[in-house]
Amino acid sequence: MLASLRRRTVIDTARQLGLLEGENGRIGGRIRRDLIAAAKEKSGITIDTELLEYALAKVALEDDFGVKLVRRKSRVAKEIKLEF
């Protein structure tokens, strides 16, 4: 159920941003069966095309919050008043 909600949120956001509009492209590649099976099981997706679309949407929507947070390590803005 959580995977379904997460998947729906990713696809809905990608759709709202226009990432799922326009012409379809074609992608091909060899991917390990165990990876495909694990991704399908975790996501609840059974159709390869939908799995690829979901995975690509997740990558396209991924933010860089973690990277930015780590870069700020040991730095506090001067305007922040610390109580010590």
Please give, one letter per residue, the 3-state secondary structure of 4-36.
HHHHHHHHHHHHHCCCCCCCCCCCCCCCCHHHH
4-38: pLDDT as tens digits = 899 999 999 999 999 999 999 999 899 999 999 99
Q: What is the pLDDT of residue 46?
A: 96
The answer, yes or no, to whether residue 84 has pLDDT greater than 90, is: no
56-80: pLDDT as tens digits = 999 999 987 877 778 777 777 778 8
Contact present, 33 and 42 (Cβ < 8 Å): no
Write out the H or E segment, with its range, that includes residue 46.
Answer: none
Contacts of 43 (CB under 8 A, 6+ apart): 3, 7, 51, 54
Q: What is the pLDDT of residue 60?
A: 95
Is the pTM value of this prediction over 0.85? no
